[in-house]
Amino acid sequence: MDINATFIGQIIVFLILLWFIYKVVTPMLAGPIGERQKRITDGLAAAEKGQKDLEEARGRVDALVRESRERARSVEDQAARRATELVEAAKQNAQAEGARIVETARVEVGNEAQRVRDALAREAGTLVVKAASQLLGREVDAKAHAQLLDQLANDIARG
């Protein structure tokens, strides 16, 4: 282990190599590596942000779907209620109409019955007059007894 001038040469070689690596090589490595690491970090941050955004959006979608479902259900309920109401109203209308028709028919039937009764009374009066004239043996003067006959007919009609 002899120390001699060799170490001076070794120091010079070392310093030159160190200078070259410090000034040339490491900047060439540090720059791109740092840039790449920055990009990776940014990318990871962006991915995380995207993930968070996605989660948020998912939450919003869930809320929207829930709300829509609720609204649909309420619309459905409303429609069902409205339909029931409509049916109910139609039923009432129909009943009223039916009642009205029946009432009209009843009035008409009453009128008709009255008319028939009047006709029958007149017929009966005529028959009575005919029968009476035959019984009396002479013709009843319709004109002379018109008042009597009318009263008769009315009596019959009245029953």
Partner 1 sequence: MSAEATQSPSEYISHHLTHWTVGHGFWSWHVDTLLMSSGLAVILALALYAAARRVSANNAPTGFASFIEFIYDWVDGQVGDIYHGNRSFLTALAFTLFTWVVCMNAMDLLPVDLPGNVAKVFGADHFRVLPTADLNGTIAMAIVVLLLVIGNSIRAKGLGGYAHEWIAAPFGPALFPANIVLNLVELLAKPVSLGMRLYGNMYAGELLFMLIALLGFALASGLSALSGTLFVAEILIGAGWAIFHILIVLLQAYIFMVLPIVYISMAEEHH
| CB 43, min distance to partner 1, A | 12
Least CB distance from residue 47 to partner 1, whole Å? Answer: 18
- The nearer residue to partner 1, 26 or 104, going by C-beta atoms, is 26
Q: 117 near 157, Cβ under 8 Å?
A: yes
Tell which positions 30-69 bind partner 1, by CB under 8 A: 30-33, 35-36, 39
Cα 69 to Cα 19: distance, rounded to the nearest angstrom? 73
- Binders in 68-97 for partner 1, by CB under 8 A: none
DSSP SS3 for 140? coil
Residues 143-158 as b/e (b if ≥16 CB within 10 A, e otherwise) read eeeeeebeebbeebbe
Contacting partner 1 within 8-37 (CB under 8 A): 8-11, 13-18, 20-22, 24-26, 28-33, 35-36
Q: How far is the CB of 39 from partner 1 (least distance, A)?
A: 7
Amino acid (1-letter code) at residue 109: V
* Nearer to partner 1 among residue 7 and residue 72 (C-beta): 7
Structure tokens given for 32: 């791109």
* Closer by beta carbon to partner 1, 42 or else 88: 42
CB of 12 to partner 1, least distance (A): 9
Q: Which residues bind partner 1 (CB under 8 A)?
A: 1-11, 13-18, 20-22, 24-26, 28-33, 35-36, 39
